[in-house]
Amino acid sequence: MSKRRRNSASRAERREKVRDIFVARPFEGLASEADWVALRELVPAATASLQLSAEYAAKYPDRQVVLATVLPMAWPAMVRGDGTVLVGLQRQFQSGDVSRDIAASLLSALDTEVGQTVGVPALPGPGPRLQDVLADGPLDVTIETGFDFWIAPGADEDPNVKASLDQANESIYPTEQLAAAPGAYWCQVPDKAHVRWVLAEDEDPALDALAKLAAAGELTLGDGTRFAGMFRAHGLLVPVWDVPIDRPASDWETPLGTVRDGYQRYLAAAEPLTAEERRSRQGLLGRQFTLR
């Protein structure tokens, strides 16, 4: 092979190594897709235990793995002093496939000794995704009031971790998971409160069902509330309501349950949109923006 051809082949190989592929719904196929999106984009502090698939559980027996919304300095993963692997959803760098990113971080952490930094490439390339690495099952989410879970009980505190923990704790706003619907969370920021619900269905049928709710005057949580619009996050729609700041999260279980029932009823209906419902759909489209 000539030198020119060898150089061309080398350049092609390098381009292939860093080739990125965008996956619009990276958590599709996981049992709690809506909660994965919520923890990734909406919830400040939460954890959930993860179970490895049979293949990886056999390779890494007796390893405890915990999913966290965010880790110190937005690390992708860390190994706690007691050997527990923590993998973060909210991180500094990502490729076009978040599922592949998190799976690569998790596997790197499983191969990392206690006390060592987990090395994760910005673009992990082809390989197993969360859907391959984890056992099938829903997330059991725990809303945390602080990030003390970063540090193992009785372990010496890394000064960098401690400083990041103190700063992160100051940024947490009150958040509660709502039982009325999967992927639904109430939060209170300094001057307002919201109910946000990640819809697990494909965008088009979800939007049609919301449009029917809106046209029927049913896209409301009651007096004093306002439908604020929608996010689009990782391929799913996230309707948002402004609610009174002086009322607890539990007050919105029943109203959200009513909206959920109407949404599911319209989702199952085969009738095409009426002219009024099409106008409502256009209005909803004008009140959304995208989160990746």
pLDDT for 8 beyond 90: no
Which amino acid belongs to residue 96? G
Nearest to 288 by CA among 214, 183, 223, 216: 214
Q: Show contacts of 68-71: CB within 8 Å, 24+ apart.
A: 68/149, 68/150, 69/39, 69/40, 69/43, 69/44, 69/45, 70/44, 70/45, 70/147, 70/168, 71/150
Cβ-count burial 100-118 (b if 16+ within 10 Å, e if not): bbbbbbbbbbbebeeeeeb
Rounded to two decimals, the pTM is 0.90
CB 35 within 8 A of CB 199: no
> pLDDT per residue over 262-274, tens digit each?
999 999 998 999 9
Q: How confident is the model at residue 21 (pLDDT cuts 50, 70, 90)?
A: confident
Quote the CA–CA distance of 36 and 183 in Å, as a whole number. Answer: 8
First to last CA, the chain: 44
pLDDT at 18 over 60: no
Residue 85 pLDDT more than 70?
yes
pLDDT at position 31: 94
- Given a contact cutoff of 8 angstroms between Cβ atoms, the answer to whether 221 and 241 are in contact is yes
